[in-house]
Structure 1
Amino acid sequence: MKIKSFRSRLLLVFTALASAVLLFALIAIWLATSQQSERTLERELEVSERVFAELVDVRAQQLQQAAEVLTTDFGFREAIASSDEDTIISALVNHGQRIGTDLIVVQSPKGEEIAATHSPQLLPSLSLLTDAPVKAQFVTVNEEIFQIVTVPVRAPNLIAWATLGFAVDDDFAVLMRQLTHADITFLNLTTGVVYATSLATEQRQMMATNSNNLQQALAANNVAAHVSLFNGDSAALNTESNLMIVFSTDKLEATQEFLTLQRQYIGIAVATLIFAGLLATVTARKISQPITTLTDAAKKLGAGDYREAVTIQRADEFGALSDAFEGMRQGIAEREQQIMFQLEHDLLTGLPNRVSIRASLKRAIESSESGYVVLLNVARFGEVNDRFGQQVGDELLRMIAHRLRDAVTANWIVGHLGGDEFVLVGRQQSEPQVNSLITVLKSELSSPWWYEETSYLLDFHAGYLAYPHAADDADSLLRRAQLCARQAKRENVFAVVYSQGMDEQYLRRLQIVQALPSAVREQRLQLHFQPKLSCQNGQVLGVEALLRWRDEQLGVVRPDEFIPLAEQTGEIQRLTRWVCGAALDQLQLWHEQGLQLSLAINLSALDLQWHELVAFVTDAAKQRGLSAASITLEVTESAVMVDPEQAILRLGELRQAGFKIAIDDYGTGYASLAQLKRLPADELKLDRSFIQNIASSTADQTIVRSTILLAHELELTTVAEGIEEDSAWQVLKQLGCDTVQGFYFSRPLAAAQFEQWLHRYQREINHA
């Protein structure tokens, strides 16, 4: 598990450090005491062995003194010299009882027995002895151990040897233990015989059983021991060099004080660790408390809460860090306020922007408040920017914002949606109050706008509506207010109030935009064809391909509805590709059937900006084996005027490729005669507005006549569209028009219906 808390990690570090120090100290002390206990135990055994040796020497001296008393006795020497055995025995018994000896042997200088309590053959050989006193030795006699001393008997010459000995038994071993503080065992390593010992029965049995492997047995039973020969160099006096004296002690008992010391130190270490843990806890809390405070402050800053000041009254680094945090909090709070202000306000006018207005409307609607929204539009403000510059436009917007703030009461919020649109939101406002406001606004905004001693005349149009009656969301309120403002502009009035159904056209356009891409991809569009006839003889010369769209939900969608939307959404290029492909496929089929017709296809203004237009149309015609001369590409006069230079360049490229160019709806746009002279055109199509009343309107006849004469002078063919009655056709004949088309001859028809109409029409012409 990963520890994330700084305090916990700090506590863990402190505790681990203290534990490590105590552990190292404990290990060091444990090793030191263990080694010291081993050394102490070893020294104690050595001391016990030396004390034992000294005690044995003292006893040997006592024994020797007793022997010397016996050998210096006149009667005893006289008995030996006279070989009086009874006297010798009596003296030995009396002296032995007096000094407590267990063994007495008198031998001749040659080693022959004179008198003895034990067989002299069991004693060390005396043939090597000199006149000097013999040192006390340990010997075994009949599986018993005796400490013996041998002294000479002189009268005055050496007449005998007297050997006296004390028995070494368990009592002797126990006595030695009391004096040496170590257990003493006399042991035969070969036979396993324990002659004497101070040990208990179980330990005695253990030594006897494991005499061949004594050291391992002692270690296994946790016994420390020193093993030495009986007499240090007994091999010289005794053939059995496997007779040993074992000095032993129980390790646990001997090292009990060290174990107690170790346990005490463990207790001290545990207590120290607990104290260190408590101290570490307090220290970690004291150290981490400022960090915790700063962390909480940082979290609040991250959550956007800048209200609470960060204050840690300390003179150390934490205090400096707290001051830095407080400075950062204040700086962030100020910048946050600036950012929020910029987010919710228009930088130019200082008014609430669209985001702020939408939020205000949303809160008002959610709280079930009622009120009004008034949207103001500055008419032709783009022209002001274009003519007088951005600086003048910005200053006028500031002046408008200032005048609007002065004109409204405190219950109204004035906002700038962007560009030329301002909005006023009145909470808890009634209809009379909003009507009064509209009157005030009309009066205030109609006054001249002075800037740098220049007066600017601005027109305003307003739309207003009530919420939540007119709409229950902010976007719908603003959109419908914009619709009302546009309606006011169309009606040339100052303000229009919203009424139900005004935004149906907008919703229909929205539905068209959503449905158009799938209609193009799924080819749910259709082409209809309207015939173009010779004005003079009525012969069918060709057709104009017209796009039609019938949607299951939208019904019939007119081209003037979806073509502008296709241009706005970027679908126009895909639409043009489909129209050209489908129209040229149909023209190819008709040519294969023997119908030598020409084809007119309409292009939009954006098509003229398409760099691949010429290559696309040329390749499409070649793939179908069609002559470019049989194809006319029509563009409206207004489409040309969007970008005259680019339009003239693109139309010139198309005409150079062999296609015919027609200028549609001529007379309704802004093309001048100078532009007309530059246009690479083959046809002029007169707009239907000049044709519908031409039979009864002298003015229309004059306009059409002059246009036809102008076109012919420029070597252009004229086409009149919108022929709905025979009288109009006859007038156009008299005026010299070249080509006509209209409902009088035929409506736009699907390909199969057009073929039927064409066959029927040609039969009628031939019969006439």
Structure 2
Amino acid sequence: MRARLHFRSLESRILTLFMLLIVAVQVIGLLVIQRGIESNARAAIAQELTNGSKVFRRLLDQNAQSLRFGARLLARDTAFVAAIGNNDETDRATIESALANHGRRIKASASMLVSAERTISATTSEVQAAGLKKLVLGMLDQAEASDGANGIGIVDRYPYQVVVMPVKAPIVIGWIVMTFPIDRQIADEMRNISALHTSIVTRDSKGQWLPVGSTFPVPVATELVQHMESAKPGPDGAFEVELADGLYSARRLAIGEDAGQGVSVVLARSFDEAIAEYSRLERWLLGLTVAGIVISASVSVVTAKRIAQPIRELVSVAKRLEKGDYKGQIEFVREDEIGTLAHAFDSMREGIARREQEIRRLAYWDTLTNLPNRAQFVVHLETSIADARKRESSVFVLMMDLDRFKHVNDVMGHTFGDALLRQVAERLQLTLTSRRNTSAQVARLGGDEFAVLLPNCDLQLAQLVARELLASLETPLSLDDQMVDIGAGVGIAGYPLHGDGAEQLMSLAEVAMYTAKQRTEGAVVYDAVFDQSSAQSLSLLTELRNAIERNEFRLFVQPKISLATGKAVGAEALVRWVHPERGNVFPDQFIPFAEQTGFIRVLTRWMMEQSAILSHELASQGIHLKLSVNLSTRDLMDQDLPAKFADVLARHQLGPSAFCLEITESAIMDDPVRAQQTLERLHLMGMDLSIDDFGTGYSSLAYLKRLPVNELKIDKSFVLNMEHDTGDAKIVRSTIDLGHNMGLRVVAEGIESEAVWRLLVLMGCDQAQGYFMSRPIPASGLAQWIRQWQPPDGLAEDPVASAAK
């Protein structure tokens, strides 16, 4: 195990990598050089063989010229010509003597005289005369016409160079014939000139080859002939042959034919000899390679240790950081990248320490008032409830919402409003610390909402503290020479009187707070009658919580269609509740209650989660739609909403552009400033924003134009009857023009007929949804619906391809 870990260390990996690279480069270099040497050697040998063929032919021509010159001297000898003309027995001896003497001088193997009657009248070799007779007689006419001729003849499988020269006095009275053997002598001469091994071979009428003269030893020459018979030479006659003393590249050159027999010369070049001059270079390269590997290995070891040792020290520092030890400084006195890395580690240590402290503060403290935020308040409330459960005591929560704060923000601005919130926080803290019960804790939940935790407190004391807090706010606040009257509504709920959980107590206290604000009664203790249907509403809240845990909610969707192309481009996400006892519970029966109790935030988070799952599944099928999710007033007041959405997107690997968040005009106008802050943060994330049910609220167009929205949805109340109501049609047309002038996408909902569809197309509306296209369907059936959807005539394009785009 230790050896395995050591091999996996950075030092060993660096060394291994360096060594592999060096060896690979050196080996590849050697192979490339060796391949180059071999390629060059083959090219050089091929060129040598080509040149050798030319040289050998030139050598034969030179020999022929020499023979013709010697024969011409004899043919023009006066005494010789006279002897031929006399043609008696005495002159015949003279002719034979002249042929023999002249042949020896020019080293001819045989000399002969052909008479004017074309018969061989004299010869120095009867054997050659008989063997060459046919060839010689066939050359007489050419010799007479060209003042001489030469050719190749074969006698007893031995080749001869034959020269025929006419004897004129002044007409042709005969022909002199001289023969020259093509044997080892010419092969040696060729070897001396070109350094090529030369073999003279003849082929009989049966195709059998015989070496008659070679620079090779006889056994090697015989082996060459045997290989030559089975070799398949290329177009240029070249072939490779493995002989006893090595590999040769050879070329056969045919030099003559005689009576079905042939004579050729085989030129051969040894590969070993051709690359001999490169062998020392290869040895030098091999030596340099080995030396380079040894030197590089040594340098690699030193380099690996220099890199790995400080990194090991930095690893130990990182482990200390992992355990939360940020105290020890990192000290490396180095000027290279390792020193820079060490300095960066030290800066990171200090930065992490600061950020952890800041994160802890931001996670549990409100930056504006320096009070605990909602998260910390919930933690303290859960701890207090657990402690009260052990002691059998009670805990109360006061939830407070300021009156007229929205008006102050709109008139005086956000800076003034922030300063006002800080003064309210100071006044609440001062009021609580003035009491003997110093365990009370105040927190800012968000916006203008505050909460007070009263552990070990009964109902009477909670009501008393609430009255004192309200009284402290009755005194006007002074800011920038401005006197501001501000009040509050306070809701009271406690454990175990009203609920047994932190979230439940806060929800009930919030219900009581809104009741207090509606009745302008100051402080109100929670009562079940405040909820719709009293006890039924209480059970409904519990059932809503259980519905999440038991997965009773179902995601439905209603497709959104592009009116220009008839293609599905999006879908609105809707929720349905399948109750185990009540059956299907319609949204109108539980959504308002969820908004009232604050449970809508949990439901919105569920909707976003399920929509993200659906979007991911559709994308895996090549279908890309923009899913619309509705936000409530409570959602817009949630400062953590953007972070929650970002977490969902990250977990499902989706981009913000996959969603469009729909907000009603009424939700925006309940608190325009806070709503705009939340919307701007969502817009910066890259999410599309849509104003839902446009035209049914009381929003100001001057304010709406400042919102970072991308889409307007015309309420279905204007769309349903626009085919028959010209007033509705005018409103829809004006809204479409307004949206386009503001650079927004316009969506009409509530389309229930093809006539309305075509009216909206004529008006230039961008998208639509309604029963004409599809009622809300289960999310699992959306992909199948897209494949089956067919738009009205004239807009029938492939919906699946459209959705995939």
TM-score (norm 1): 0.40
TM-score (norm 2): 0.39
Larger Rg: 1
